[in-house]
Homo-oligomer: A and B are copies of this chain.
């Protein structure tokens, strides 16, 4: 029996403690990897599992708007890296002046060091004849595609594979390079590969770009800014990494 079908047989069952912990572990130890890629191919069986995970994301109206472009060619990857380098130069002056030196030092991509790159796209025409759930919120197809990205990322963590999302790119230039037609949006450009380790904390936290916000401060009751939920906030504070 294949992977997804076998899992469906368990659809009605609850998770044992150890299984629930494993899901949290993937969530809490997932990292946006830029610096720790090491050599080694990713086998087709593993990559197919990751893509199956992405493909089982929720999608508005079950439209499944995604495609997966696997990029291995090093010349093409170097061209994407050139786009990144140009975009980083363009982005730099928009950082606060006292943070520009730190910004320059940050390692923000692993395009050429990773085993492969993956562009996850959203075909905005798909099921356009019956756009269930998209009439009021047409961006829902993009959001569905992001859910696929996050599924891929978490499955990769469970496989010991690192993923980094490169967002410092000019989308139009990327579309030309990957021959992506107009009604299709490149939602995520991912670097995917084996890693030497998963960092204990996010790189940007470690580099003191920003600290993690206290979860309790982000919880509101009934309305935006609404006070209350005190016991929930206290419980949330207990789950915070110190």
A137–chain B nearest beta-carbon distance, Å: 5
> Do the beta carbons of A52 and B91 come within 8 Å of each other?
no
> Do the beta carbons of B23 and A26 come within 8 Å of each other?
yes
CA distance A178 to B73 in the complex (A): 49
Q: List 20 A-B contacts (CB under 8 A).
A: A8-B241, A18-B18, A19-B19, A20-B22, A22-B23, A23-B23, A47-B235, A51-B218, A51-B219, A52-B215, A62-B202, A64-B213, A91-B133, A99-B130, A103-B132, A137-B171, A143-B143, A143-B149, A154-B154, A179-B224
A7–chain B nearest beta-carbon distance, Å: 4
Contacting B at CB under 8 A, from A132-163, are 132-137, 139-140, 142-143, 146-147, 149-151, 153-155, 157-160
User: Which B residues are in CB contact (< 8 Å) with A68?
Assistant: 218-220
A127–chain B nearest beta-carbon distance, Å: 7
> Do the beta carbons of B29 and A95 come within 8 Å of each other?
no
CA distance A239 to B51 in the complex (A): 9
A220: which of B56, B70, B226 is its contact (CB, 8 Å)?
B70
**How many monomers of this chain does the complex have?**
2
> Do the beta carbons of A70 and B221 come within 8 Å of each other?
yes
> Do the beta carbons of A197 and B239 come within 8 Å of each other?
no
**14 more A-B residue pairs beyond the given contacts A12-B197, A103-B130, with a C-beta to C-beta distance below 8 A:** A5-B241, A11-B199, A44-B232, A44-B235, A61-B209, A67-B219, A87-B135, A95-B129, A135-B168, A147-B150, A178-B222, A179-B224, A179-B226, A180-B223
> Do the beta carbons of A130 and B96 come within 8 Å of each other?
yes
Q: Which residue of B lies closest to A7 (CB)?
A: B28
A140–chain B nearest beta-carbon distance, Å: 5
Chain A interface (Cβ < 8 Å from any Cβ of B): 2-5, 7-8, 10-12, 14-15, 18-20, 22-32, 44-45, 47-49, 51-53, 55-58, 60-64, 66-73, 76, 87, 90-91, 94-96, 99, 103, 106, 108, 121, 127, 129-137, 139-140, 142-143, 146-147, 149-151, 153-155, 157-160, 165, 167-171, 178-181, 184, 187-188, 197-202, 204-205, 209-210, 212-213, 215, 218-226, 229, 231-232, 234-236, 238-242
